[in-house]
Every structure is written in structure tokens, then in C-alpha cells.
Amino acid sequence: MIKKHILVVDDEPMLRKLYQALLVNYGYTSEIAENGEDAWTKLGQADYDGVLLDYQMQGINGLTFLQRIKQQYPFLPVLMITGHTDEQIRSKALKAGARACLYKPFACKKFEQVLSRTVGTTPLKAVLSEHVASL
């Protein structure tokens, strides 16, 4: 079985390591980006099955970066993570195209459930290649 490949975008080094460890534990592969520009470069260089995106980062914020992702990669699933419990932030993220918005701090089990629902269980590349082959 091909593992899903997730891009983790967060400006906090400890959180990037935590997310990567959780992803490995749940059977995903991942790459990390410390800001929007780094993430944009990585999106252009590899295929990802989803993006784990922090809302508040140095430079370009997560909401602005989400809008940029959706313009270029409209079907790429994005899970927004935020420490702000303001319902307006969640609403804005979902309107901008995030499939889910998770508030920090969160239980690891909740993270796994939301991530699984966000990116599904079958790698996006496999779904697309199966769909194209069946045409």
C-alpha cells in the first residue's frame, strides 16, 4: 500500500517535529516547510496528498497561503490548524477551501481522525490514476 504524503507547514520547529512524528505513527510520510514560500517551492517540486497548515505564521499567514494553494491546486486537501478559538477564523478557513480546521491544543486521537477524514484513506495519485485509466 502506498502511504499518503503530507506537507506540514508551520513556523514552529517543535510543532513541525511533533506533527511529523504523529504522521509517521499514523502511517503517513511527510515533508516540512517552515513558511509559505518554502511550502510553495515544495508544492511545485513533489506530489502531496494533503497539506497540514498552521494559521498563524511569520510572513504570509495560513489563510492567505490557503487561498494561494486553492488557486493553483484546487483539489489538494488542506487541514488548517490554529491556536485561535475564534469561530470566524474557522469559518474563513473553511470558506477559503480548507477541508477542516483543528484547534490547538488537540488530542492525538482527534488529530488522527480529522486528518484521516481530511485526506481520505487512498492516496490522491492512486485515485486520479484509477479514474483516468477507467475513462
pLDDT at 10: 95
Cell numbers of 117, please? Answer: 477524514
Mean pLDDT over 19-33 rounds to 95
- Reported as a single tens digit per residue, the pLDDT across 96-132 is 999 999 998 889 999 999 999 998 754 444 434 333 3
Give 34's strand partners.
Answer: none
pLDDT at 25: 93
Q: CB atoms < 10 A from the CB of 117, how many? A: 13
Question: Measuring CA to CA, how many Å separate 40 from each of 49, 121, 133?
Answer: 15, 24, 29
Cell numbers of 14, please? Answer: 517543535
Share of the chain above pLDDT 70, in %: 88
**CB of 104 closer than 8 Å to CB of 76:** no
Long-range CB contacts (within 8 A, 24+) of 84-93: 84/55, 84/56, 89/55, 89/63, 92/63, 93/55, 93/62, 93/63, 93/66
Cα–Cα distance measured from residue 50 to residue 31, given in angstroms and rounded to the nearest whole number: 11
pTM, two decimals, is 0.86
Q: H helices then E strands: how many in the chain?
A: 6, 5
pLDDT at 58: 82
Radius of gyration of the chain (CA): 14
